[in-house]
């Protein structure tokens, strides 16, 4: 009589495995949405003029092949056509002189999704596309691996 109970236990998947797969699937969907959404907002979003409100250098030197490179956290704000003030943040990598070019109160071009102005991009560059493609690809692989196992 012990054999059928043991067989049933093997067939049932543990709850931890289902939760882990659900979390990995959600992470894959989020990475794909970010990897595809940021370029779409940058290319097709509404444009507004904004200004930088805060620039902060994070940590120290990045210890990369190119010396004296730092990560900067940048906060910006812009106004919607109806006058509502919105804020956003981004990160940039630059050298010691980058804050001079990205100083507080510097004007910047902001692209935002009209249906969700919280989704905004500051001065998006084509170089950022590589990062977005990689994020979308990793998300797609995560999602594909989870769907393949079912």
pLDDT tens profile 96-144: 666 666 778 888 888 888 888 888 888 777 777 788 888 889 999 988 8
| Residue 96, pLDDT score | 67
The pTM of this model reads 0.68
pLDDT of 36 strictly over 80? yes
Three-class SS of residue 142? helix
| Residue 61, pLDDT score | 64
Mean pLDDT of the chain: 80
């Amino acid at each position: 009589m012990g054999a059928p109970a043991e067989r049933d236990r093997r067939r049932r998947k543990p709850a931890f495995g289902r939760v882990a797969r659900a979390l990995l699937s959600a992470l894959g969907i989020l990475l794909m949405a970010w990897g595809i959404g940021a370029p779409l907002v940058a290319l097709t979003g509404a444009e507004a003029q904004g200004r930088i409100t805060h620039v902060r250098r994070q940590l120290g030197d990045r210890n990369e092949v190119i010396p004296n490179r730092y990560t900067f956290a940048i906060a910006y704000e812009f106004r919607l056509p109806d006058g509502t003030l919105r804020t956003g943040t981004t990160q940039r990598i630059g050298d010691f002189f980058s804050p001079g070019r990205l100083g507080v109160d510097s004007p910047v071009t902001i692209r935002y999704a009209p249906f969700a102005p919280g989704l905004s991009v500051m001065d998006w560059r084509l170089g950022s596309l590589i990062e977005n493609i990689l994020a979308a690809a990793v998300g797609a692989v995560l999602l594909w691996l989870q769907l393949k196992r079912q």
